[in-house]
Structure 1
Amino acid sequence: MSVTDFAALNLSRATGAGLDPHEYLRVTGELTDLDGWGEAFMRVAGEHLARAGQAATAISSGEHFQVAARWFHFATLGPNRERALAAAEADAAMGRALDLLDPAARRIEGRDFAGWLRGPAGAAATAVVVPGLDSGKEEFHDVIGALLRRGLAVFAMDGPGQGVLAATTTVRADYHRVVGRVVDELGVERVGLVGLSVGGYYVAESAAREPRVAATVAVSGAFRLDWDDLPPPLRDILVQRAGGKEAARRFAGQVDLSALAPRIASPLLVVDGGQDIVPGMVNCEALARLAPHGRYLNVPHGDHLLGNARPDWLATAADWLRAALT
C-alpha cells in the first residue's frame, strides 16, 4: 500500500482521535514512502513535548502532552522499528498530561491491563473503555470525555496486545477474564463497557460471560472473523499482535459471537457505520438482533470507528450508557 493510500485510510481515524487534520495532512504529505511513517510521527510527537516544556501555563503544557501522546500512538500504526518505544512514550505523555489536567486521575494496573481511572469520587457508575486490535487508551479521548461530562467514572485501558502492553503480551479472545480482573481492581459491583473495533467483540464477549457487566456499547465491532478472507494488512496486524501466524489464525477462529449473543442479559447498544466494510470482518447487526436487549444504530455514511460521523452517534451512545447504568 502506498503512503498516500495509507494516510487517506487513516485520516478519519486520526482526526476522530484528536489529531489536527491540517497537521496530519502536512506530515503525511511530506512522506515519500510508508517506511518513514513511524519516524515522522514520533518526530511530531517530540515537537509537542518540546512545546509542553516551553508552555506558559500548566493547562497549555498538559494539552501539548496530550497531543504528543496521540502522535506517539499513531506512530505505532504504520511501519516503525521503534513501535514499542512509541507506545511507551504515548503512555508516559498521557500520564504527564493527566498530572496537569486531571490530577485526581488514578493509574491502575494488573498483570494484563493498564490505564487511568478518571471522574468524580463516588460516581454513580463506572464505564470501562476498551480499545481494538491496534488501538490504545490514548486514542479515544472524545468517547472518554463524553462519558466524563455525563458524570460517570471512566477507566480507559490497554489490555493484552494493546497499547503499552503490546510489546509484552498478545491478544486473547477470552477477554472477559481481563474485564473480570479490571472490575476486581476497580472495586465496584458493576460496570458499563464501551468497545471499539475488535474491542466491540471484546466487550460483547465479556457481557455474555461476566455477570458484573451491566450495559455495553459496541462500536464498529466484529461479530465474526474469517481468516481466509481478511485483507493482508489486517492479517499482518493480527500476526503481530498475536505473536505469530498460527496464533493469529487461532484467534480469528475464536472471534464468533453467534452462540454468545443470546447470552447477553444486560442492555446492549451496537453502533455500525454503513461504509465500514472490511473483508473477513462481519459487522455487528446480528449481535444486536440476537441479544435479548440489543439495540442497533446504523449510520449509513459512517466509516470504521465512525470518525467521520461523531455527531450522529457519540452523544446518543453516551446518553444511552449513562441511562442504562444509572
Structure 2
Amino acid sequence: MNAADFAADFAADFAAAQLTRATGAGLDPHAYLRVAGEPASLDGWSEALIRTARQYAARAQQAVSPVTAGEYHQAAARWFHFATLAPHTDHAHACAEADAAMGRALTLLEPGSRRITGPTFTGWLRGPAGAPATVVVVPGLDSGKEEFHTVTSALLRRGLAVFTMDGPGQGALAATTAVRPDYERVIGQVIDALGVDRVGLIGLSLGGYYVARSAAREPRVAAAATVSGPFRLDWDAVPPLVRDIIARRAKGAEAARDFVGRVDLTVLAPRIDCPLLVVDGGQDTIPGVTNGKPLARLAPRGRYLLVPHGDHLLGNAQPDWLPTTADWLAEALTGTASSTSG
C-alpha cells in the first residue's frame, strides 16, 4: 500500500469513528457522511468540515428570519468545532470561529444568555434567570462548549440554568492554555463567577474525571454526573493517537505523561459526598482507559447506568441515557424532575 492509499484509509477510518460523536452533538448524519466521505487525508477531512461550517455561516447572513440565522450560526459552530478533532493539525483558527459562531447564534436565539469569563475558563450561562438550580457542562480532552448541544438542551427543557464552558486546554482556550488535573480549582472559579451557592455538574469523556475530582474536593457541588469518564488512565497502554492528542493539549509529551499519571480516582472516589450518576457505554473500549464502574462502586452515593450497546459518549444511544440523566440531575438539585422532560 502506498502512502496516499494509507492516508486515505486512515482518514476514512477516522471519519467513520467520529460519526456517532458528530450525530450525538447535533450534526445532521446525512450531511456528515456526505462531507466526511470525500477527503483523502485527515487534513482534507478537517478542511471539508470547515468549508461546510462556512457554508452555514453564509446562509445565516442571507437568512430573512433571526431564528433561521441563529440556527445556521449554531450549525456553523458545531461544524467548526468538529473540524478541530483531526489530529496533527493546527486548530486555533477553527476553535476561534466555533466560539464566534456560537456567540452569534445565542445572541439571536437566546438573547438572555450571558458570556462569563474567568482566569481559567470562558463560557455561556443560559436559561431562565429564576432557575431553581444551575448545571455546569464540562467538556473533555478535545471537546468544548460548542459540542454538547443536546445535553444542554435537555437540561434547559427541565427549567435549569446551564453554564457551558471551556476550561484549560479546551475549545476557545486550547491555543493559549494547557490541560490541568486540578480542575476543581477551575470549577471553584466558575461557581464564584456564577454567584450561586451550589451547582450540579455533568462531565463528558475526560470531563467526567474533572467532574468526579471536583465533586470530591469542591463542597459547593451538590450533584454530579459523568458520561464515558475515565476512572484511571495508563499512559503506556493508551493508543498513540490518543497520546498525541493529550500531548498537544498538555503542550508537550512530558507534561502529557505527568497529566495522565494523575488521572486516577481511587483515592478521591470515596470522598464524593454528593449524589453521583456514572454513565458508561458497554462498547466503549479504549486501551489504557478504565471506565467508570469502580467510581460508582467507591463513591458513597454513586449510581451506575450501563448502556450495553453505547459507544464512547453514547452518541449512538442518547434515548437510553440522556433523558434519564437530565431527570436525575433535575431531581437531585431541586427535589423534583421537571414535567417537561422527554
TM-score range, shorter chain: over 0.9
Residue 102 (structure 1) aligned with residue 102 (structure 2): no
Partner of 1:254: 262
1:191 maps to which residue?
199
Distance across 1 between alignment mates of 2:78 and 2:307: 26
**Matched residue, 2:181:** 173
Percent of paired sites with the same residue: 70
| Partner residue in 2 for 1:130 | 138
The one-letter code sitting in structure 2 at the alignment partner of 1:188 is V
Pairing 1:223-262 to 2, within 5 Å after superposition: 223-262=231-270
Q: Is the 8 A contact 2:140 2:206 kept in 1?
A: yes
2:298 aligned partner: 290
Per-residue CA deviations over 1:203-236 (Å, capped at 9, x if unaligned) read: 0000000000000000000100000000011000
1:83 to 74, 80, 91: 91
1:50 pairs with one of 42, 58, 62:
58
Provide the C-alpha distance between the structure 1 equivalents of 2:55 and 2:141, rounded to a whole number of angstroms.
Answer: 27
Residue of 139, 163, 174 corresponding to 1:155: 163
> What's the CA shift string for 1:51-91, capped at 9, x where partnerless?
00011200000000000000000010014744101000000
**Residues 1:301 and 2:271 aligned together:** no
- Does residue 59 of the first structure (1) align with residue 70 of the second (2)? no
Deviation at 1:169, TM superposition (A): 0.3
State the 1:38 CA deviation.
Answer: 1.9
Pair 97,157 (structure 1): closer, same or farther in 2 beyond 3 Å? same
State the Cα distance separating 1:35 from its structure 2 match. 2.2
Contact 2:54 2:76 in 1 (8 A): yes
Q: Is the 8 A contact 1:37 1:80 kept in 2?
A: no
Instruction: Give unmatched runs, 5+ long, in structure 2.
Output: 1-8, 335-342
Aligned: 1:27 with 2:32: no
Indicate conservation of the 8 Å contact 1:41/1:75, yes or no. Answer: yes
**TM superposition shift of 1:111:** 1.3
Cα deviations by residue, 1:9-29 (Å, 9 ceiling, x for unpaired): 100000101111111111111
Offset of residue 37 of structure 1: 1.9
Return 5+ residue gaps in structure 1 as ranges: none
Query: Is residue 323 from structure 1 mapped to residue 323 from structure 2 by the alignment?
Result: no
TM-score by length of 1: 0.99
- What residue is the counterpart of 2:101 in the other structure? 93
Q: Is the 8 A contact 1:38 1:79 kept in 2?
A: no
In the TM superposition, residue 34 of structure 1 has moved relative to its aligned partner by 1.7
